[in-house]
Amino acid sequence: MAKKREPSFHILNSPIFWAAVFSVLVSTGVSWLFAQYRLEPQIEQLAQLILSSNTTEAPPAQPSQPSVEIVPLETRPLETAYPAAFSERRVSPLLQLVRLSPKTVAGVPLTEDHILGDVVALTSDGWVATTQTVMKDYRLADLGVLWNGEVKPLTLGYRDKSTGLAYLKTEATGLSITNFVRAADVVTGSAVWMESAPSVLHPESIIRLRSPQVATVLSSEVASRRFLVSGASTEASPGSAIWDGAGRLIGVVEDYSDKDAGWRIIPAGMMSSDLANLLSTNQIQRASLGVRAIDLSQVTFADRANLPVRGAWLEPDRVKGLPAVDKKGPSIDLLQEGDVIERIERDILDGNADLGEHLLEYRSGASVTVAGTRAGKPFETKVTLGSVVTTESIK
């Protein structure tokens, strides 16, 4: 049986075979390189065409906007310029005095025309003080005080002829209590606060310790001193309050002086003791010398002769026909017309306070030393002070 012939692979070992393979590979590579060289420009052009067809026109450049800084909003409240005595008080001691008329109807709001001025609370149970320029000749039944949105009637009233003040009792309760500044403690240039209406405050200053006055003969029981406070542009009312920075009452507005460009203020230093007298005796009693005098510090002379610059010059009130020394007063036979009182005890009449204001500090029945000049020569005497009632009831 013939054997099957196995395939022969001796051709793979033939140099001629590998030479042919190499020749084919070389010719193929050369052809590819040639084709790549010939097609490269066309390929590049085609790529650019495709890119240009897919590219949109860029929008024009916009002008740059300025940068904006956002400032956070402050949430805390502004700080008050008022002293703590005002910013922390629960309610203002200043109230408004109103005039009631027969046409006033319950349930109808009052207008500005009804407001006469201001009053200052002295006690929590309804005692208030104001000036006589507010009261004028009104009856108590015609007046009331605004408190908590309604009018509280007046039940009592007194005018004090020695100071120009008026004391009123209202039916209002729960009022603020007021503290006071002595007139002697006030100095020129003192910073003060004018309360022209309840809780409406204006910073002002004391520009004079005493408002200038004409040469007027005054009783020794009259305290005529008025502070002068700035505030030509401030709208205030008679009775408006003047406070120091601690919330103490210095005085109340009497009126405005165009001549002196300031508000004339009645000192409040004696209100506390005067009210105590009213509550205990229903009247105010003053110590009295029983004389009339001109304050020399308020007078200008062409020739002073023997008169000093300051002091109380005893002169009669020729308009009213009253003598310089009361015939039944405590100074009869001790003082005489023409005398100049320059000192009572240690109180020198230097022009800041008049004779009547100095006597406010003394009690009736006290024996005081009075010194001065008589016909240009020094004199000194002892006087036992008398007593005079300076209040009258308001009906």
| pLDDT one-digit tens code per residue, 69-110 | 777 776 777 777 889 999 889 899 999 999 987 555 555 667
Q: What is the pTM of this model?
A: 0.78
Residues in the chain: 395
DSSP 89-135: -SS-SEEEEEE--TT--TTSPP-GGGEEEEEEE-STTSEEEEEHHHH
pLDDT at residue 3 is higher than 60: no
CB burial readout 221-240, b (16+ within 10 A) else e? bbbbbbbbbbbeebebbbbb
Least Cα distance to 164 among 213, 214, 218, 223 occurs for 223
CB-CB contact of 341 with 368 (8 Å): no
Torsion sign across C-alpha atoms 124, 206, 161, 159: negative
pLDDT at residue 58 is higher than 60: no
Least Cα distance to 250 among 225, 233, 232, 222 occurs for 225
| pLDDT one-digit tens code per residue, 281-325 | 999 999 999 999 999 998 888 777 889 999 999 999 999 999 999
Least Cα distance to 344 among 226, 224, 220, 227 occurs for 220
CB-CB contact of 157 with 140 (8 Å): yes
Task: Write down all domains in the chain, each with its CATH number in brackets.
Answer: 278-393 (2.30.42.10)
